[in-house]
Structure 1
Amino acid sequence: MSERSAAPGGLALIESLVNTLDIETGRDSLDTADGRARFGLTEDEVPDARALRESLRAVLLAHAGHPPHREATPLGELLAHAPLHVAVDAHDGSATLAPADTGPLLSRIAAAVAEALVAGTWTRLKACEAETCHWAYYDRSPAGRGRWCSMQVCGARAKMRRYRAKDPPAKEP
């Protein structure tokens, strides 16, 4: 969908999970073995991963100032079940929140959210305004007011719709 570069740090994992579903075509890469393997998921774990994906999408839409496109479990409720621990580097004393187990997707997502909160980048991860898209993207605009995953595709379509919706200019007699 987007020509943008991947989000920084752990946000790339979140962006990648949200973008497993192409809303316009209905294709879901979690339906494939390769798609599940990218996230270390078994088939049995896919329903929970989909619920997590839609909770994340709802938050990313909120980051962009848009209401959720469908009902989703609040992200905080899901992340409350993610085991994390404080990892302290023995060499420099730096500390991070890390998954208690590197396997579960939920814990890796929770660690990525914590990392982004500390870095101040969490609200820069957004979902495209276009109703047929809602693709996740990292907003690198200086003011942080990006609205579309791609100005050339979704942004251009929105601008064209607005242009066509305008009343035609009145003709002079």
Structure 2
Amino acid sequence: MELLLAFLNTRDPGLGTDVLDSAASWRAWVAERDLGEAGDLDEVRAVRAALRHSLGEPRERPDPLPATGVITVDLSHGVPTLASAEAVGAVLGAAARLAVLGSWERFKLCQAEGCGSAFYDRSRNRSRTWCSMQVCGNREKARNWRERARALSIT
């Protein structure tokens, strides 16, 4: 789950950073997590766009590249596990595993203006809206309160 969240959040609109802006930063991200081959950057961008689109983000371009990765089933330790020699395969393997387990629908994108971070909704009724109540949730609630207060003072 953590690998998938980290991958979905390789772009941070708040800071204006994107790990996928350069092959060097992507290779460093992959090496830091020991994920094997970094792969083609265009394919990696397409995978991220497809995964984020499946969480509700509008597509960045009308016809994104196909999102694929090579995944194998490893039985070397007696328990079947999904494995890949490449980073994209590892990410897609994690996503597939979570979908099979029924956890995919708990992955969401923060609805706060300017955020869009992916997060895992651990709430009982799956109703969480923000990545962080302390940051985005607080900011949104304060903004809504100010708008209501302003509307009351105008009338």
Aligned to 1:127: 109
Aligned to 2:81: 96
Matches of 1:144 and 1:118, distance apart in 2: 18
Whose RCO is larger (CA < 8 A, sep 6+)? 1
Matches of 1:98 and 1:113, distance apart in 2: 12
SS at match of 1:168: helix
Distance 1:36 1:73, change over 3 A: farther
The 5 A counterparts of 1:79-158 are: 81-88=68-75, 91=78, 94-99=79-84, 102-103=85-86, 105-158=87-140
Which shifted more, 46-55 or 139-148?
Answer: 46-55
Matched, 1:36 2:44: no
Q: What count of residue pairs does the alignment treat as equivalent?
A: 147
Matches of 1:52 and 1:114, distance apart in 2: 13
Q: Give the superposed CA RMSD.
A: 3.0
SS at match of 1:126: strand
Q: TM-score, normalised by structure 2?
A: 0.75
1:135-156: CA deviation from partner (whole Å, max 9, x where unpaired): 1111111222111111111111
Structure 2 gaps of 5+ residues are 32-36
Distance 1:74 1:114, change over 3 A: farther
1:49-88: CA deviation from partner (whole Å, max 9, x where unpaired): 222222222223x3xxxxx24435789x41xx32223333
Structure 1 gaps of 5+ residues are 1-10, 63-67
Identical-residue share of aligned pairs (%): 35
Matches of 1:36 and 1:18, distance apart in 2: 16
Contact 2:8–2:118 (Cα < 8 Å) also in 1: yes
